Structure 1
C-alpha cells in the first residue's frame, strides 16, 4: 500500500525537524513496515508492506496512518471533513442479509460531471491509481482516505431498491473489468429489484457502470462481513482494493466517515449537484470492546513502570477511552479496533509499549542455566519397544478394539461386574472396556490360527480399571484409571520353547531399550498362568507384569485347542529407561574370553535365574552364564530332577588365564551350586 505524505498533512502536522527517513523508521518500529521511500513531484510516497497491517483494518487508509503519526509525535489529529446528510428517503435500500452485510446505506443524486479536480487526480496518480470517471475517482479517493470502500451506480441502469444478499440460483455476471464470471448459489451479491448488479465487497457489475452520459447516480456505502467477501474473492480468483479491506473486518461506523467525506467533496467534482435523499439500514452496529487491566500486569509485561499519565495519553491519542480506579484501568476500545484487533489485556500492553517505543525500554539482563538433557532424538519408550519387537524379534504388531467379549473376560479370570461398562456397544456381550490386553489378543490369535500353525503377535494399548478412578487431567470429572500395557503372544507346538523364546525377547527388549532394573520372580497370582511355567516381572520393587504359558482350560475357552501359547503382559507405566546422558564408556577387553561347560543335576524347583545368580557371584572374572540345555528321563537322573548344562564365560582383566585358574573357578562354581542350590555333578 502506498501512502502520500502530502495527503497525510491534511490531518496531522509532523514536527518540522523530523525528516522522511526518521518518520519511516518510527512507523516501522511502532506501527507498520515501510519498505521504500520515494520522492514523487514534490511529494513523498511511503511503500508499506501489506502483511504488516493484516490485523489492522484501521490502517488501510491515510486517516488511520495519520492517527498513528499523531500518537507517535504527540500532535493533534484533525477531523475528517463531513457534509450534512440529505433528507432520509425510503425505497433506496431493501432488507440486507445479515449473514452478508451489517450496514447498507445508499444516496441518490443528479449532476453533470466534467473532470476530476487536479488535486484529486494528482494524489491518486502518485499512489499508482488510474483515473476512470470523476465520480469513480472520488469514490477511490474516499476509500484511500478512510479505508471504507464505496461504489457509484448509474441510477438509470438499476432498479431500486438495492440490497446485499446471497445468490439464490446459479448465473453469470459481467464485472467492471469486462470479465464474465459464474455466480453459484450462496455467492454474496448486490441485487436491485430485478437482478444481480455486483459481487458484494469485490467488484461492481459492468451493466450498471458509469459512462460520460450518466446523469443520475446511486452511491452505495456498506459494511460486509469478512468471511463471505474472502470466499467470494477466492472463488473469483481476484483480490481488489475493496475486498482487501473488507476481508480485514471493517467497523460499521466507518460508513459515516465515507459518506460524509464523499458528500463534502462531491460539489468540487460535480458543481451544481443535487442530492435527492439517503437511506441507511444498520443491521448490526459494531460495538466497542472493553478491557480491564491492572497496573501490576502492565508493569510485569512491559518490564518497567511507564507511569499512569503515559498510559492515558498514549491510549487516548489512539482513540481509546480510559478510566482509572486505583490500580485498575478500564479501557474502551474504539470501533475501528474492535473488529478482532484489540480484545484482551495483552493487546493494551502492546499499544502502550509500541507507541512508547520498544527501543526505549530498559534492557534486562538474562541468566541462562544449562542443564544436561536427554537426547532430542530419543523417542518414547513405547515406540522403542514397538520397534524392537517388530524389527529385532520379528513379531507382528496388531491393534484391537478397547472393548472385550464377555466369554473371554470370564475365561481369563475377570469379573464383568468389575469392569468399566459403556453405552453404545457394538454387541450386548462387548460392553466392557478391557481390563487387560489378553482377551482381545486371544481373539486375534484364534482368528489367525485358522490359517497357520504358529503365530507371533504383540500389541501396545490402553487398559481400563473400574476400581481406581481419578480426575481427568487432575481437575475435571473422575474417569477410570487408564494404563498403557504391552501384550506379547507366541503360539506354536512346543510350549517350553515358546516360553524360553518369549523370556529371551523380553530380555532383549530390556537390553536394547535400556530399561532400568527389569527382573523375574517365580511368584504370580495371574489366574490364566499355567503353574508349570510362570514368572512375575518386576521393575525395581514394583510388579510390572506376568510371563507364562496359558492354562489348557483357557486355551479351550478361547478356541485355540491344543496349540501351546506363551503370553506376557507388562505395564509400561512402571518401566523407566536409562537417561542417555548417564551412559558410561567402557573399553573393549584386550584379552580374549575363555570359559568352560558344566552339567549338574538340579531339582526341578531350582530356577535358571538362581543358577545364574550363584554362578556369577563366585568370581569377578565370571562375565556371563549361558543356558546350554537340559535333559530328563534317563535312569541316572533322579525323580524331580533334570540335567542342566551351563556355559560359563570368563573374561580376564590383566593377564591371560591359566588352566589352573580356570579349574579353580570351575571347582568354586560346583561348590557354590551344591552348597546353595543342592545341584551336583553326576557321580555314577
Structure 2
C-alpha cells in the first residue's frame, strides 16, 4: 500500500524537521513494515515548466518543429519537438539535460542530453505525460500529444515538482505486515498510529447527521453477511473532472483518477479505509436489496467480465436483478456514465470471509475487496459518510440529498479483555506502573479500568473485529508502544525433559550440506505446485495427486507429489545459460491420502512427506560419466552424513527413466527412491534439448540416522599400503557389484586385500565382442609388517585367479 505523507499530515501534525528515516523505522518497529520511503520530487530532477515563445518549421523534417522555449531567468532555448498539440504561449514540461525519461513512455529509462535532431541543435526535451511517469494523472488524448500545463499558473523555470505538487514522501507499506490490522488500510488509520507512537494530537473526523424523508429504501436480506448499509440518494451532480489536488493524491496512492463522482469514492476509501461506491440512480429500479445471489444468476461487472453467480455470493440488487458484486466490484448496468445526473452513494460493511471466498472464486481482486476481506469495522462508515458529503458539497454546490438510509442491523460490540497485571509483568519482563500501562493503551483508543492486580480493557471499535481478542494482544500493544528496543535482555532458566539431539532433523541438514559443500551442487527452491507439461512428461499418471481448487494459473493445478517435475523445469530454465550443472531440492510432497493430524485426531489432512531430489545435467555424450557422478554422490552420502547405508537394485524401472540406465534405491527390504537417466522421449516432452539429465529422488522420511553408540574407533594403518591396478576382460553384462563381491565378499579373495575400487570401463576395437575391460584398483597391505613386492604381486595374482574362476575373467593383454 502506498501512502502520501502530505495526506497523512491532514490528520496529524508532523514536525517539518521530523527525520524521515526515524519515522519509517519507528513505524516498522511498532506497527507495520515500511518497505520504502521515496522522495517523490526526485523523479522530476532536472525537469521544469517551460513556455513556448515561438514555433518554427524544422528545415529537414516535415513533422518536426523548432520551439523557442522560455526556461526561466530570461533564457530562451531551441527544442526540437513533434508534439501534435504544441502552440505558442503553451506551458509545457521540459526535461533538461541530465533528466531521466522513457522515450514515448516505453522501454528503459534514458538520460536526456543535448543533441542534434536532423541537423538542428536541441536543448533537452518537451515531454509527454507518459514519458515522465504521469500517464495515469494526465492521460493522453492522442499518441503524439505533449503535456499541457496551461492550468498551472506558474512562471517559466519553475521546477516541475513544485508546479505539480510533487514535493511529497511516498511511504510503501508491506501489505502482509498489516493483514491483521484492518484499521490501518487508509491514511487516517496510519495517521492515528503515528499520533499514538509520538503522543501527538489526532484530528477527528466529525460525524454528520442527515435527516431526509423520502421513499428511498435499502433492504438487507443477509444480515450475517452485511452488518451495515448506508445509502445516500443525490441529485444535481454530473460527470466532470475532480480538483487537481484530489487527482494528485489518488495518483500518489497508486490509483488512476477517472472523474469527480468516481474520484470522491476512491478518495474517501484511501483516506478512511472504508470502500464506497456510486450507482447511477436512474438505472436502479425500485429500491436496493442486499441479498445472496440466486444459483446461476448472471452479472456483468464494470470491467465487462460476465459472471455466473452461486448462492454463496452476496450481491447488491434492484427489482430487475444484481447490479453489483457486494464488496468487490460494481456492475456495468449501474455504472457512472457521461450523462449521469443522479447517484446513489453506497457506504457499507460486509462480512470478510464471504468477500474473500468470492474474490478467490472469480479471481477478481480490487482495492475494495482487499479492505473488506480484512474485516473492517462498521463504525468507520460514519467517517466515510462525513468525508463523502464534505466533498460532494464542495464539488457540487447545487447537489441535493433526496434520500437517505442507514440500515445498521448488527451493531458492533467492542472487545472486552481482562488482564492479570502479575501475568503481564512476567510476560513483559519489566515492571510498569498503572499510569504507564493506562497511558500506552488510552492513547490508542482503549478504555482501561485497573482494580488491584486486575485490568479490564475495552478495545476501540476499529480494533474489535478480530484484531484484539485475548490478553496476549493487550500485552503486545503495551510492548510495541513502549518500544521493543527499550526492553533489556534478561537471562532465563528452563529445563529439558527429553533428548534435544534431534538426529532426524540434523540428518536432513547434513545431507544438504553434503550435497552443497562436498559435492558442489546448487540448492533450488520451487513452488509447491507443478506444471501440467512436466507432470504429464515425468509422472505420466495423476492418480493420487492433489489438485488446487484455485490454482495460480490454469496449467499449475497439481500439488507436487514428486520433486522431479519441478527439477526438470529447473533444468529447462538453466539450460539456456549452462552446459553442465547439478542441482538439488529438499521439500515437502503431498499425496491425496488421508492422514490424521498429530495435533487433532478429528482433523484429516493430505499425507505429507519430505523428499530429497537432484538433477545432474551435462552436455557430455558419454552418459556413463554422468551416471557415475550421480551414483557416487548417493554411494558416499550415508558415510558423510552418518546414516544407515542403502543399496542399489534393479527391480522396477521408473516411468521417466532410460531403458538401461536406472537403479532402485533400497533401505533393507523397502524401496526408498530411484535414480536414472531421463529418457530421450521424456527429455523432449520436457523441453530439455541439448543436455543429458540424471535424476534421483529419495523419501527422506525413511532415512535412518546412526545412533552415536555404533561409532567405533579404527586405528590408522601402522604399515604402508599399496594401490595396485589390474585391467581384466569380463562379459559385457558383468556388474561391478558382482566383481566387488568376488573380491571383498564373505570369502575374501585375499586377506591382504583391504579394499577394491572401480576405476574405469572400456569397450573398443581392442576388446573382443561381448566383452568389456574393467580397471580395478586394489588396496593391499598388512597389519603386521611391511609387504615385499613379491607378496603384493601374489595377493593381486590370487584376486585375478578368483575372478577368472568365478566370472570367467582374464587379464587384458592389449
TM range (shorter): 0.5 to 0.7
1:150 is displaced (CA, Å) by 0.9
Shift in CA distance, 586/212, structure 1 to aligned 2, threshold 3 Å: closer
Q: SS where residue 319 of structure 1 aligns?
A: coil
Q: CA RMSD in A?
A: 3.2
Residue number in structure 1 paired with 2:229: 104
Residue number in structure 1 paired with 2:120: none
Q: 1:377 aligns with which of 501, 504, 525?
A: 504
Residue number in structure 2 paired with 1:63: 188
CA contact (8 A) 1:121 1:131 kept: yes
Query: Matched residues in 2 for 1:368 and 1:292: separation?
Result: 28
Please say if 1:118 is aligned against 2:248. no
Shift in CA distance, 324/373, structure 1 to aligned 2, threshold 3 Å: closer
CA contact (8 A) 1:93 1:160 kept: no
Shift in CA distance, 373/144, structure 1 to aligned 2, threshold 3 Å: closer
1:207 is displaced (CA, Å) by 0.6
Query: Matched residues in 1 for 2:397 and 2:490: separation?
Result: 62
Q: How big is each residue's C-alpha offset from its partner over 1:114-152, in whole Å with a ceiling of 9 and x where there is no partner? A: 321222111112222111221110011111111111111
Q: How big is each residue's C-alpha offset from its partner over 1:460-501, in whole Å with a ceiling of 9 and x where there is no partner? A: xxxxxxxxxxxxxxxxxxxxxxxxxxxxxxxxxxxxxxxxxx
Q: 1:151 aligns with which of 277, 302, 306?
A: 277
Q: How big is each residue's C-alpha offset from its partner over 1:344-401, in whole Å with a ceiling of 9 and x where there is no partner? A: 111001001111110111122457999975552399xxxxxxxxxxxxxxxxxxxxxx
CA contact (8 A) 2:294 2:309 kept: no
Residue number in structure 1 paired with 2:599: none
CA contact (8 A) 2:216 2:403 kept: no
Q: 1:179 aligns with which of 289, 294, 305?
A: 305
Instruction: Give runs of aligned pairs for residues 239-254 of structure 1, distance below 5 A.
Output: 239-254=365-380
1:43 is displaced (CA, Å) by 1.1
Higher relative contact order (CA 8 A, sep 6+): 1
Query: Matched residues in 1 for 2:501 and 2:11: separation?
Result: 60
Residue number in structure 1 paired with 2:24: 24
Query: Matched residues in 1 for 2:331 and 2:471: separation?
Result: 44
Gaps of 5+ in 1: 380-512, 514-578, 591-653, 655-684
1:88 is displaced (CA, Å) by 5.2
Query: Matched residues in 2 for 1:581 and 1:88: separation?
Result: 85
Shift in CA distance, 302/92, structure 1 to aligned 2, threshold 3 Å: same
Q: SS where residue 218 of structure 1 aligns?
A: strand
Shift in CA distance, 586/129, structure 1 to aligned 2, threshold 3 Å: closer
Q: 2:293 aligns with which of 120, 144, 167?
A: 167
Q: How big is each residue's C-alpha offset from its partner over 1:411-442, in whole Å with a ceiling of 9 and x where there is no partner? A: xxxxxxxxxxxxxxxxxxxxxxxxxxxxxxxx
Residue number in structure 1 paired with 2:411: 285
Query: Matched residues in 1 for 2:505 and 2:263: separation?
Result: 64
Residue number in structure 1 paired with 2:486: 360
Query: Matched residues in 1 for 2:440 and 2:359: separation?
Result: 37
Shift in CA distance, 90/105, structure 1 to aligned 2, threshold 3 Å: farther
Query: Matched residues in 2 for 1:332 and 1:99: separation?
Result: 24
Q: 2:472 aligns with which of 326, 342, 346?
A: 346
Query: Matched residues in 1 for 2:172 and 2:501: separation?
Result: 48
Query: Matched residues in 1 for 2:3 and 2:30: separation?
Result: 16
Residue number in structure 2 paired with 1:45: 170
Instruction: Give runs of aligned pairs for residues 371-520 of structure 1, distance below 5 A.
Output: 373=500, 376-377=503-504
After TM superposition, the score normalised by the length of structure 1 is: 0.55
Query: Matched residues in 2 for 1:368 and 1:349: separation?
Result: 22
Query: Matched residues in 1 for 2:236 and 2:16: separation?
Result: 42
Query: Matched residues in 2 for 1:265 and 1:306: separation?
Result: 45
Residue number in structure 2 paired with 1:4: 4
Query: Matched residues in 2 for 1:294 and 1:378: separation?
Result: 39
Q: How big is each residue's C-alpha offset from its partner over 1:300-358, in whole Å with a ceiling of 9 and x where there is no partner? A: 11111132222111111111111111122110011111111110111001001111110
Residue number in structure 1 paired with 2:34: 34
Query: Matched residues in 1 for 2:258 and 2:505: separation?
Result: 65
Query: Matched residues in 2 for 1:105 and 1:367: separation?
Result: 56
Instruction: Give runs of aligned pairs for residues 220-259 of structure 1, distance below 5 A.
Output: 220-259=346-385
Shift in CA distance, 368/313, structure 1 to aligned 2, threshold 3 Å: closer
Q: 2:452 aligns with which of 311, 326, 329?
A: 326
CA contact (8 A) 1:97 1:165 kept: yes
Residue number in structure 2 paired with 1:197: 323
Query: Matched residues in 2 for 1:237 and 1:119: separation?
Result: 33
CA contact (8 A) 2:216 2:233 kept: no
CA contact (8 A) 1:199 1:205 kept: yes
Instruction: Give runs of aligned pairs for residues 255-270 of structure 1, distance below 5 A.
Output: 255-270=381-396
Query: Matched residues in 2 for 1:335 and 1:208: separation?
Result: 32
Q: SS where residue 504 of structure 2 aligns?
A: coil
Shift in CA distance, 336/65, structure 1 to aligned 2, threshold 3 Å: same
Q: SS where residue 490 of structure 2 aligns?
A: coil
Query: Matched residues in 2 for 1:97 and 1:347: separation?
Result: 31
Query: Matched residues in 1 for 2:500 and 2:251: separation?
Result: 61
Shift in CA distance, 162/372, structure 1 to aligned 2, threshold 3 Å: closer
Shift in CA distance, 295/281, structure 1 to aligned 2, threshold 3 Å: same
Q: How big is each residue's C-alpha offset from its partner over 1:3-33, in whole Å with a ceiling of 9 and x where there is no partner? A: 1111111111124442211111111111111
Please say if 1:78 is aligned against 2:176. no
Shift in CA distance, 192/376, structure 1 to aligned 2, threshold 3 Å: same
CA contact (8 A) 1:8 1:62 kept: yes
Residue number in structure 1 paired with 2:179: 54
Query: Matched residues in 2 for 1:14 and 1:306: separation?
Result: 28
1:104 is displaced (CA, Å) by 1.3
1:584 is displaced (CA, Å) by 7.4
Residue number in structure 2 paired with 1:296: 422
1:169 is displaced (CA, Å) by 3.0
Work out which of the two has the higher radius of gyration on C-alpha atoms and give 1 or 2. 1
Shift in CA distance, 63/374, structure 1 to aligned 2, threshold 3 Å: closer
Q: How big is each residue's C-alpha offset from its partner over 1:227-261, in whole Å with a ceiling of 9 and x where there is no partner? A: 11111111111210000011011111111111121
Q: How big is each residue's C-alpha offset from its partner over 1:554-602, in whole Å with a ceiling of 9 and x where there is no partner? A: xxxxxxxxxxxxxxxxxxxxxxxxx9455674779x9xxxxxxxxxxxx
Gaps of 5+ in 2: 41-165, 507-643, 645-705, 718-783, 785-814
Q: SS where residue 277 of structure 1 aligns?
A: strand
After TM superposition, the score normalised by the length of structure 2 is: 0.46
Shift in CA distance, 191/299, structure 1 to aligned 2, threshold 3 Å: same
